Amino acid sequence: MPIVEIDNISKSFGSNHVLKGVSFAVERGQVIAVIGRSGSGKSTMLRCINGLETIDSGSIVVAGHTLTARQEHLLDLRKDVGMVFQSYNLFPHLTVEENVMLAPRIVKKVPDVQGRATALRVLKQVGLDHKREAYPEQLSGGQQQRVAIARSLAMEPQVMLFDEVTSALDPELTQEVLKVMEELAQAGMTMLLVTHEMEFARRMADVTVFMHQGLVWESGPSEAFFSNPQTPEARQFVGAGAIK
């Protein structure tokens, strides 16, 4: 059974039909890159997977949780699905360690002793255990994004979603975040990432999904996709200087 199964989902915002019947599956341990122009539905699709947006029709099954238009079981879903956004969304009045401990304490009722040990472990994982007593304003953008990744890892998710997590960072900080994501992929984390980092997608993603006009326009193994896109739209997108 795929760990993520998206079946014919549709989503509109008023008269704007953003998703027009999107379907694909993710196997456990796979890394899936979702690419496409702005407005193609990538981020909306990702937000639907985490229940941040309701779907109008179709179904999504993630880690055994079924999402429908009624948004049932969202709390249980978010215990198993982590999401990292373009903006870090860290609480400025909490230390790095406290930011990481917060969700396990509230959602999973994890005792502070256990939560602190988990926070230290995941902060080591992203190379920031030495910053655990710092506040977000004392960190670079790349460091804040790595704390956001650690915060999701603290929930011990089965699936991680990444929504354009490097788009607000300069090239040097982008590389430090991509390095953490690469290490997660190598450790076997199931990852679904919306990204403009084409070279990273080609190198690290098992499958690349190209979205266009609210549809999965083309998808396939990443190396084959980038070497020889099958549709004119994908060829134009990949050939527009995205891979340097």
pLDDT band at 18 (very low <50, low <70, confident <90, very high): very high
Q: Does residue 112 sit within a domain?
A: no
Q: Specify whether the CB–CB gap between 102 and 182 falls below 8 A.
A: no
Q: Does residue 179 sit within a domain?
A: yes
Q: Who wins on pLDDT, 76 or 214?
A: 214
Q: What is the mean pLDDT of residues 203-228?
A: 94
Kindly report the number of other CB atoms within 10 A of residue 30's CB atom: 20
| Residues spanned by the domain of 67 | 4-87+161-238
- For the chain, give the mean pLDDT: 91
Q: Does residue 13 sit within a domain?
A: yes
Strand ranges across the sheet with 31-35: 81-84, 159-163, 190-194, 31-35, 207-212, 215-221
Q: What is the mean pLDDT of residues 147-168?
A: 93
Q: At 9, which CATH number?
A: 3.40.50.300
Q: Specify whether the CB–CB gap between 56 and 69 falls below 8 A.
A: yes
Q: What is the mean pLDDT of residues 62-68?
A: 86
Domain count within the chain? 1
Q: Give the separation between CA 45 and CA 193, rounded to whole angstroms.
A: 11
Q: So what's the pLDDT on residue 244?
A: 40
Q: Does residue 176 sit within a domain?
A: yes
* pLDDT-above-70 percentage for the chain: 96
Query: What's the distance, CA 200 to chain centroid?
Result: 14
pLDDT of 241 above 60: no
Predicted confidence (pLDDT) per residue in 101-155, tens digit: 999 999 889 999 999 999 999 999 999 999 999 999 999 999 999 999 999 999 9
Q: Does residue 203 sit within a domain?
A: yes
Q: So what's the pLDDT on residue 71?
A: 60
Instruction: Copy the structure tokens of residue 49.
Output: 């997977």
pLDDT band at 243 (very low <50, low <70, confident <90, very high): very low
Q: Who wins on pLDDT, 134 or 241?
A: 134
pLDDT band at 69 (very low <50, low <70, confident <90, very high): low
Output the pTM of the full model: 0.91
Which of 63-67, 71-75, 230-234 has the highest average model confidence (pLDDT)? Answer: 230-234
Q: Does residue 64 sit within a domain?
A: yes
Q: Does residue 227 sit within a domain?
A: yes
Q: Does residue 92 sit within a domain?
A: no
Helices 141-153, 112-125: axis angle to 10 degrees equals 130
What's the angle, vertex CA 170, arms to CA 165 and CA 172, rounded to 5? Answer: 100
